[in-house]
Amino acid sequence: MKGFNTWWFFSLLAALFAALTAIMAKIGIRGISSDLATAIRTIFILVIAWGIVFARNEAQTITILNKTNWIFLGLSGIATGLSWIFYFKALQLGKVSQVAPVDKMSVALAILLSAIFLKEVITWKIALGASLIIGGTLVLIL
């Protein structure tokens, strides 16, 4: 992909699969506990993620992880797990067309938190985009 912003391509794929996740999850949780659904989903994610690591021969690099890597990847995993649990519960109780936009407010929150904790600069374009995300979410849920 020479000359192409690969981060943009992978971000687009992430958005596509996140959208598919909402639809498939809404169908998959019918008649079962949202917590059980999250646990089952996690098994598939675990197998796929480790399959990729082993297929790319990256497992041996686990030895280079330091304490900070372990702590923050662990905290990220906890946050991800909680996000999934609450997301699946929200999907079980609400409409995808309402739950998904609220969930995507995480984009605006991530922008804000990136400025606070990572000292990333928020340009006027980034601030405008985050504001539009928040505004659009409010329009959809009110």
Please indicate, yes or no, whether the overall pTM of this predicted structure exceeds 0.95: no
Write down the pLDDT at residue 2: 58
Q: Encode pLDDT of 92-103 as tens digits.
A: 999 998 898 899
Alpha helices by DSSP H, 5-141: 6-28, 34-55, 67-93, 96-103, 106-117, 124-141
Do both 108 and 69 map to the same domain?
Answer: no
Cβ neighbours around 134 below 10 Å, total: 14
Residue 99 lies in a domain: no
Q: What's the pLDDT tens digit per position in 26-77? A: 999 999 999 999 999 999 999 999 999 999 999 999 999 999 999 999 999 9
Residues 90 and 117 in one domain: no
Range of the domain at 130: 104-142
- 109 and 90 part of one domain: no
- Round to whole Å and give the CA distance between 66 and 69: 5
